[in-house]
Structure 1
Amino acid sequence: MEGLKLLVVFILIMVLLMRRAPLGPVMLGGSVLLAILYRTSPGAFLGMVWRATQNPATIELLAILTSIMLLEHLLGKEGYLEKMLKGLRGLFQDRRVIMALIPAFIGLMPSAGGAIFSAPLVGQAAASGGIAAEEKSFVNYYYRHIWEYFLPLYPGVLLASRLSGLPLPHLITALAPYGLLVVLLGLPILWRLPPLKEEEEGPGERLIRAKEFFTGTLPILVVLALSLIAQIEVGLAVGTVVAVLLIRHRYNPSKLWHLCREAITVKTLVLVWGIMVFKQVLVDTKAVESLPPLLGRLPVPGFLVFGFLSFLVGMLTGLMAAFVGITFPLITASMGDQLGLPLVVFVFIAGFTGTMLSPLHLCLVLTVDFFKADVRKVFRLLVGPEIALMTIALLGYLFRI
């Protein structure tokens, strides 16, 4: 019965989002309804809101998003984005390739909500018309996450290895093909977009374009180097690059104030806060913990129960760390020594599919909001590749591939 309450709230959220209700109010309303259904007093609910607000993860996320907004605006204002796009157009003649490469490249930077960084670039690459907002949203969101399936830079892969007890190199080797599969499964949608061929350039011009691309992407390359090689936190890395750019381009306090007013979108920050409040209420009411008993009554094999549970938690939270942290301890406790690599891979891919189809996934929220797309149409584009990927993972488990 307790699990059904959570499902009712989630279905209501989905219905409201499909009717294009604003996500921020929907999530706050969902938080209130969840608290009521789980008999939470007003005082306790306000305590949850306060804990979510002062949570270091929330503060860090809002700080990262703010710094990303400033960096993105600076790169556009000072001509870096234009150089990057000119370079890509000189190196690759097909704009569809350019559109996919941009979020894939920026996806190497493991920051929450990083899709807001690549979205303006994808928009510029598709600026000549003929590409719908939903298609731009799909490309930006989908191709941003190809690395997250196997790169240990992302916490989900590391957490899965630690909780399952499987050696990290073995898990990476087993998951890496799914990163390639994601790229291939997205191609049918990518290639159906209107093509636009750039004019062929000579070797000399291509060298100039390559230099422009390097110059335009240098701030991003520095962020990547600081976060991936120097192991500096993403927020600090982005903030450092922003500070250097502000000094280089001589921003005085007045100019900086105008930059902040133009770059920082308060609506987006409030939206993210609303999502974090909902997740806090999910944790404090222990609503997610009611799912395993509900699923345990289903007359289906255990591996399907684990896969469905992982998918559902991923969809309910939109977080990789959440489905790994909730599902993998249950699998480990249930399977013991029988837990093997094929089952871990299947459950991992199932949970990731849930996060990719979740209306709470921050990258999806920010992308749809940026392009002013219809979330229903974006979901229709996502469902095919994501379900195909999970089906391949299921077959991989059944045939121990």
Structure 2
Amino acid sequence: MTTIWPLLKIALAFIAILTGIRFKLGIGTSILLGSLLLALLFGVQPLEWATIAAIGIYHEKVLLLGGIVLLILYFSDILERSGQGRRMMNHISGLLHWPRPRLVFFPALIGLLPMPGGAIFSAPMLKEIAAPFSISPQRFVQLNYWFRHVWELCWPLYPGIILAAFIADIALFRLLMFTWPSLVLTILLGWLFFLRPGVLPLTDHAPVAEVSEKRSLAPLLRESLPLLIAVFGSLGLEGLIALLSPEIPMEWGFIIALSAAVTCLVLQNRLPGRMLVTVIKSPHALRMLFLVAAIFAFKAVLEQGGIVDALAGSVSTPTALFWISVFLPFIVGMISGLTVAFVGGVLPLIMGLAANLHIEQTTGYVVLVLFSGFIGVLASPLHICLILTCEYFHARLDEVLKSLALPCGIMLLFAVAYARLIMEFW
């Protein structure tokens, strides 16, 4: 019982966090209160907890991460408000002549923009493109929801993957080198279960909107320029700083590139000052900043409050840590429906336990946590994208969840095998 008791305390703290999220206290508030409960359960006094949390938040890397998240949110908001995101998508869709890629094109393209509930943004576009065909509400939801999330673990603008790289102290570019198979796997499973001719017959291709034979790439490049600056500028500058000036935090590369991308958006659209003020004062942006602060306060409490040391007796082997890395993020992801919840809540714990076990190569555990948690999020009945899409297409949530079970199960088996492979050879 001595070794189980610390695990029970951790479980109680996670239950408190998930309960807070369930009753809409906010993710940041729930995680912060969960860290306080955790501290109290392990004998840390409230004043000491506050000191540990403040030191954990007031750190250069945390402040830089806050700036990156803020700029990404501003970027996505301006793309939507200015209409440039829609124009960019219209230009790209005009280049697609085949009906099946057109059906999933808008969900996948909207997925490049890390906006909350983004699936509801692509749902009307999918409905319009699919108008000539007879498609069931459940199939609409499957296509819109699944292909909206194919980028989640490998697109460098998603706060979840950026946060994971910061917590694990891994260069984002290196982490993406290990997570890119998620894109191939999700597209393949989406095709097999939801899009291939055997499961989605499309009887008439002729009514698909006509596409001109000659379409200039110049307008597309112009509309896509801010996104290209954001993505390739961020990754390029990160690598350049690491190569030429390792003493400078690589996060400055992201901040410079994202600032340039936002500036490009503002200039291209000649945005009025009123719109910029509205974007800057966005409540969602402020909530995300608070969430980042709460996550790193939680991480600091885990590291400095003696909690990982207390857990050492419960998780004493790499094998035990491996299976915790499978099930804990999956459960948190499924119950919360949020990527940042399992990244911020579980990954610091896994990293602390790995350090306690003197495991130097932690990339496999990080990848396993990301895959398992993401699969839990995909299968979650609380995922806002899934709820909104079901409501929009008038589909039954329980039927959609049943159809997601098998592809998610296959992904989980792949995650276990893939993580083992990474641990063995890297």
Fold conserved (TM > 0.5)? Answer: yes
Q: Tell me how far apart the structure 2 counterparts of residues 105 and 240 of structure 1 sit (CA, whole Å).
A: 18
Q: Which residue of 2 aligns with 1:165?
A: none
Alignment of structure 1 residues 2-401 onto 2, 5 Å: 2-18=6-22, 22-92=26-96, 93-94=99-100, 95-102=102-109, 105=112, 114=114, 116=116, 122=122, 125-126=125-126, 128=128, 139-146=147-154, 177=181, 179-187=183-191, 191=195, 198-204=208-214, 207-208=215-216, 210-231=217-238, 233-251=253-271, 253-254=273-274, 256-261=276-281, 265-296=285-316, 304-311=319-326, 314=329, 317-318=342-343, 322=348, 325-326=351-352, 329=355, 333=359, 347=365, 349-356=367-374, 368=384, 384-394=406-416
- Over 3 Å counting, the alpha-carbon distance change for 1:313 and 1:48 in structure 2 is farther
What is the letter of the counterpart of residue 229 of structure 1? G
Change (3 A) 1:54 1:382: farther
Q: What is aligned with 1:109?
A: none
Q: Secondary structure at the match of 1:144?
A: coil
AA aligned to 2:322 is G
Aligned-residue CA RMSD in angstroms?
A: 4.9
Q: Identity of aligned pairs, percent?
A: 17
Matched residue, 2:249: none
Q: How far is the alpha carbon of 1:2 from its aligned partner?
A: 1.8
Matched to 2:413, the amino acid is: T
CA contact (8 A) 2:117 2:388 kept: no
Pick closer, same or farther for the CA change 1:253–1:262 going to 2, 3 Å.
Answer: same
Q: For 2:277 and 2:168, locate their aligned partners in 1 and report how far apart those are by CA, in whole Å.
A: 43
1:298-327 deviations in Å (ceiling 9; x for gaps): xxxx66424213335756751697477446
What is the CA–CA distance in structure 1 between the aligned matches of 2:10 and 2:57, rounded to whole Å?
22
Over 3 Å counting, the alpha-carbon distance change for 1:268 and 1:371 in structure 2 is: farther
TM-score, normalising length from structure 2? 0.64
Retained in 1: the 8 A contact 2:185–2:411?
Answer: yes
Is 81-90 or 380-389 further displaced after alignment?
Answer: 380-389
For the residue of structure 1 that corresponds to 2:411, the secondary structure is helix
CA contact (8 A) 1:48 1:277 kept: yes
Give unpaired runs (5+ residues) of structure 1.
107-113, 163-167, 297-301
Is the Cα contact below 8 Å between 1:104 and 1:146 reproduced in 2? Answer: no
SS of the residue corresponding to residue 356 of structure 1 reads helix
Amino acid at match of 1:143: W
Note if contact 2:153-2:370 (Cα within 8 Å) is conserved in structure 1.
Answer: no
Evaluate the alpha carbon distance shift between residue 49 and residue 394 of structure 1 in structure 2; reply closer, same or farther with a 3 A threshold: closer
- Looking at structure 1, the residues matched to 371 and 307 of structure 2 have their Cα atoms a distance apart, in angstroms, of 21
TM-score (norm 1): 0.67
Q: Secondary structure at 1:294's aligned position in 2? A: coil
- CA distance 1:347–1:90, change in 2 (3 Å): same
Shift of 1:85: 1.7
Task: Answer 1 or 2: higher relative contact order, Cα 8 Å, separation at least 6.
Answer: 1
Alignment length, in residue pairs?
A: 361
Residues 28 and 274 in structure 1, CA contact (< 8 A), matched pair in contact too: yes
Aligned to 2:133: none
Structure 1 residue matching 2:211: 3-state secondary structure: coil
Q: Is the 8 A contact 1:62 1:272 kept in 2?
A: yes
Contiguous gaps of at least 5 residues in structure 2: 131-136, 239-251, 333-341, 391-396
Q: Are the counterparts in 1 of residues 66 and 289 from structure 2 also a CA contact under 8 Å? A: yes
